[in-house]
Amino acid sequence: MSSEFPNHVGSYTVVARLDRHGDDAVYEVRDAGGRKLALKLYGQGESDDLRAFRRETLQRVAALRHPAVVRYEEVGEHEGRLFAVMELFPSTTMRTVLKGGAVPLRSSLRILRQLAEGLACLHDNGIVHGCLNPSRILVSPEGDTAKMIEPGMCTERRSQDAGATAAMGAAMFARYLAPELLRASGNPDPRADIYSLGVLFYQALTGKVPEANVRLPSQESDAVPPQLDEVVLRCLRQEPAARFGSARELGQAIDRVVATLPGGFADQLETLTSSARGYLGGGGGGGRGWRWALAAVLAAIGIVAALLLARAYL
């Protein structure tokens, strides 16, 4: 194995290199018991301050267990370089997924709901992701499971350590950062993560990153139910106080919308939408209006029927 591919890192045997970003490298490794894991080996030449920051943050994250946060198992040093060992999750990044355009509605709702729950766990434990963007989200091949990586590790904002690679990364993903993070340095507020999740939500639903004069998601895509417009736009408010107060509150808002959709379950939504499109003649804006209007009428009929039935028994 070449010098670029060390045989061992700490007590782990290196099997293959999975990724490389600047001086950082991610390897598939095996522990002494033969388990397959992922190991990220951070670059050389980092300042003592940055290395201490990474180590402290990774150790805090390693104490957490949540299905929407990649599980970290060990933090150590190898030949003066910090490394972190984590679960090996077969996946691609959300960035790759979004290159294909909008994500199907059912998958979007599942992924965003999982990420909201994961953020709630981080925030409950005093950790703000701070740099939530498509490259820091892993998605399973089936598209129904998502996990965040490197929460609290937003080193791009630590200007004293930001080299050319970090600066390029910061510029590339600045549109996912809350406006208050672009205006000032300092520790991010949990509501900054809600803004970032709102950008991801909008992009997953429409295939587009929201611009300054943002259009309603349902105006951008006829697959988006108008009930989601308010949820997404509230995440994207410029002032933190105008956003959802917590990631848990955002998750509850998504649940309330899903409960109003045809069938009441996100996993049935795509089938019902496809059937409605077939009966109503295509995917134009008019088709969208008829679909959701029909769903609303049927829901209203159901509510009235339930009220009349309840009255009959009172």
Each residue's pLDDT tens digit, 123-132: 999 999 999 9
Mean pLDDT across 247-272: 75
> Percentages helix, strand, coil for the chain, rounded to the nearest 5?
50, 15, 35
Q: How far apart are CA 237 and CA 243, in angstroms?
A: 6
Averaging pLDDT over each range in 165-179, 241-255, 275-289, which range is the top one?
241-255
The radius of gyration of the chain from alpha carbons, rounded to an integer in Å, stands at 22
Where, residue-wise, is CATH 1.10.510.10 in the chain?
Answer: 92-161+168-266
pLDDT > 90 in the chain, percent: 60
266 with 228: CB under 8 angstroms?
no
Average pLDDT in the chain: 80
- Please name every residue paired with 14 in a beta bridge, in sequence order, or none if there are none: 29
Q: Say whether pLDDT at 154 is over 50.
A: yes
b/e string for 94-106 if b means 16 or more Cβ within 10 A? beebbeeebbebb
14 with 27: CB under 8 angstroms?
yes
Q: Say whether pLDDT at 175 is over 80.
A: yes
245 with 123: CB under 8 angstroms?
no
Predicted confidence (pLDDT) per residue in 36-54, tens digit: 999 999 988 778 888 888 8
DSSP designation for 70: P
Predicted confidence (pLDDT) per residue in 213-243, tens digit: 899 999 999 999 999 999 999 999 999 999 9
Please provide residue 143's backbone torsions phi and psi, each rounded to the nearest 5 degrees. 80, 15
Q: How far apart are CA 218 and CA 205, in angstroms?
A: 9
Widest pairwise Cα distance in the chain: 80
Indicate the pTM of the whole model. 0.78
How many C-alpha atoms does 165 have within 13 Å on its Cβ side? Answer: 7
96 with 196: CB under 8 angstroms?
no
Homologous superfamily assigned to 92-161+168-266? Transferase(Phosphotransferase) domain 1 (1.10.510.10)
Mean pLDDT across 169-193: 80
Q: How far apart are CA 108 and CA 112, in angstroms?
A: 6
112 with 197: CB under 8 angstroms?
yes
Where, residue-wise, is CATH 3.30.200.20 in the chain?
Answer: 10-87
Q: How far apart are CA 76 and CA 31, in angstroms?
A: 14
Distance between alpha carbon 133 and the CA centroid of its chain, in Å? 7
Mean pLDDT across 63-73: 94
128 with 193: CB under 8 angstroms?
yes
Averaging pLDDT over each range in 145-154, 195-204, 273-282, 293-302, which range is the top one?
195-204
Give whole-number Cα distances, 293 to 170, 230, 242, 278, 283, in Å.
43, 18, 29, 16, 15
The CATH number that domain 10-87 falls under is 3.30.200.20
Q: Say whether pLDDT at 2 is over 80.
A: no
- Please name every residue paired with 199 in a beta bridge, in sequence order, or none if there are none: none
